[in-house]
Amino acid sequence: MEPMNISQLAVRLMLALAVLASSWYATPAQQLFTGVAGGVLLLVAVKPQSRLAAFLDVVAASVLQVYSPMWLPLSAWVIAVHRGYARSLAFLLIPAPFIYAWRADNLFVWWAVLFGMLWLYLGFTLAERTAYEEESDLMLPLPDALREQWEQEREAHRQLRYQYQELVGAHRQQMARHQLDRARLQVLQTAVTTKELDDFARQILFILRDATGAPEGALWLFDEYTSSLRLAHATTRQDMLSSVALSPSAQVTRLSPSDVGERLNHAVQSLGENTLTSVLHDEQGLVGAIALFGWQDVNDEALVRERLQQMRNTVCLAIRTAHYLRTLQQENRTLSALYEIGRLSDVSSSTEDAAKKFTSVVADLLSAPFVTLYLRNPDTGTLQVVASVGEPIRLMEEQPPEANEGIAGWIARRAQPLYLPHTSSEPRLIGYASRRVFASLIGAPLMVRGQAEAVLLAAHTTPGYFREHHLEQLVSAANHFAQVIEMSRLTRSVGLLALTDGLTGLFNRRYMDIRLEEEISRSQRYHRRFSLILADVDHFKQINDTWGHATGDLVLQGVSRLLVENLRETELVFRYGGEEFLVILPEAALAQATSVAQRLREVIERHPFQTVDGSSILHVTFSAGVAEYPTHGTDKSTLLAAADQALYLAKQRGRNRVELLPPAA
């Protein structure tokens, strides 16, 4: 109800005072009636639009007409305001019964007329007021047809308003569904387009925060290799939340999702904030976990929980998809790397060359700044660095009992891969300054015929960089290169069988022809000298005839061993044929070659040879002829002929001596 305006209040007060004043000369009964009427008028002055006020206004106007016709205009105005101009004339007839009762001075008749008029008034006025009459200051009259039309329009307006509210609610629901669908689509797109798993986790968490309205959050992913929940990303308190994870000791794979959620929720709630956790799992098992927290109003938890539940299955699918896609990418990269490694046996001329290319391929595969390959030395049996990308990885090399092999020897002895994502947590590496550089480390042995012939190590400066798939890639590369090593050794063995003498193990005549041509070509190109020694065991036929061919073979093997042991690696020894041997001395002049031949002759002369049955000791001598390039010739046949003639000269002059021809004309 609107408050009464100033004009209405003034008219009401004037009317009440007029009623009270008019009873001054009346009888006691009349004074009682007019006093009550005037007092009630004052009491209801604050509610001029009420039915009681309207009725009393009419009664007061009628009473005023009883006393004097001068009040007729005021009475007509009051009746017109409250009941409309069309009915004013009818209400002006009300004073007639009052005048009759008043003049009769009969209280009973007066009260009867009063209650009759009240009954008549109720029939005219006590209908339901409209909203327009309650809000209007003047309460203008409404015809019945107009009132009915207005009621219909008001009902139509109410229906439209109700429909509008329904449309607003439906629109809000549609917008919420649209926002949810958009968030789901963004999650799935992120799984396909993001390359790194950590970047994927960061974007997923951002989408979840936006969709649920949670200020902060964290996402854990299930690590199949360690069977634990690993923190992938957190919007805040990264250090604190990184320790909130279920380790393998918790046997997370044996727990139900509800148990995992209870443990994780208990750990996260230690942050002291409103938190909500959800374990992500599907038919295949555990996928990860989500924690959302940071909202201030506890009433927001229901909305966050509802939207998180709606997004949960989509996030599970996205994580699985991301894992599958990255697994395929890793397998493709691994296959490409293995293909490159397999080609090393074809394109590399030596094991060292292949090792350098191999470490480079592995470094690219793992995106690792440090990759080192240790290869076992066939002579000493120790592991030695043969190739490295970045600084060679050396750890634990000071520890006994295998002091000089370090962590590579540790892997080789156990013949098992090594996985140290955090070297700082490894007790065996405490005290080693290099572990700060090699913060994350993986390694694998290269097994050849059941023996660890090599060890491959990879390291990174970022703690926790290496994951289980990195180790799988390293092991695959190591196994593949182990096959390359074995194939290289087999190829070398087959080649040596074709180029070496089966009895003595020396290079044969065929390989001698090849190397002699190469040496002549090299010396011609660089204008260098080299010399040949052609030697023959003295009286070898007599040894065979006297002691047998088996003893003769032992003598040839012994002479071959003595020649190899007393020559440098660059000086090659060949079995020229029968009991004859040829030595190529690169960049050796004639005098130097003669000195070498004399030294070899003396070594053989002093060496005792046993018969095959060990019953006798033989003393063997040999004669040698020396020739020099280009002094005695510039082609293979000329040089060999010169050396052969010098040998023949030594035989003629008593054997067990070294001879050389004069320079060719």
The model's pLDDT over 344-361, given as tens digits with 9 standing for 90+, comes to: 766 555 777 888 898 999
The CA-CA-CA angle for residues 68, 15, 60, to 5°, reads 65
Taking the C-alpha atoms of residue 636 and residue 536, their distance in angstroms, rounded to an integer, is: 19
Residues 445, 455 contacting (CB under 8 angstroms): yes
From 18, 22, 42, select the one nearest 31 (Cα to Cα): 22
Helix (H) / strand (E) containing 624: strand 622-629
In this predicted model, what pLDDT tens digit does every residue of 510-541 receive, in sequence order? 889 989 998 999 899 888 999 999 999 999 99
Segments of the chain with pLDDT less than 70: 1-143, 225-226, 237-273, 298, 345-349, 396-405, 427-436, 491-497, 664-665
Instruction: Please report which residue ranges of 405-508 form alpha helices under DSSP H.
Output: 406-414, 468-499
At which residue do the structure tokens 């480079």 appear?
360
- Pairing assessment for the beta strands 572-577 and 580-586 based on DSSP bridges: antiparallel
From 365, 361, 373, select the one nearest 412 (Cα to Cα): 373
Q: Which of the 8 DSSP states describes residue 179?
A: H
pLDDT in the model for residue 229 = 76
Residue 437: phi and psi, rounded to 5, are -80, -45
The CA-CA-CA angle for residues 405, 411, 412, to 5°, reads 75
* 648 contacts: CB under 8 Å, gap ≥ 6: 625
Class of residue 421 by CB neighbours under 10 A (exposed 0-12, middle 13-18, buried 19+): buried
Taking the C-alpha atoms of residue 497 and residue 492, their distance in angstroms, rounded to an integer, is: 8
* 582 contacts: CB under 8 Å, gap ≥ 6: 512, 532, 533, 534, 535, 573, 574, 576, 643
pLDDT in the model for residue 197 = 77
Class of residue 161 by CB neighbours under 10 A (exposed 0-12, middle 13-18, buried 19+): exposed
95, two tokens: 């004073």
pLDDT in the model for residue 334 = 81
pLDDT in the model for residue 115 = 55
pLDDT in the model for residue 353 = 82
Domains and CATH numbers, the chain: 6-135 (no CATH), 179-330 (3.30.450.40), 344-488 (3.30.450.40), 500-660 (3.30.70.270)
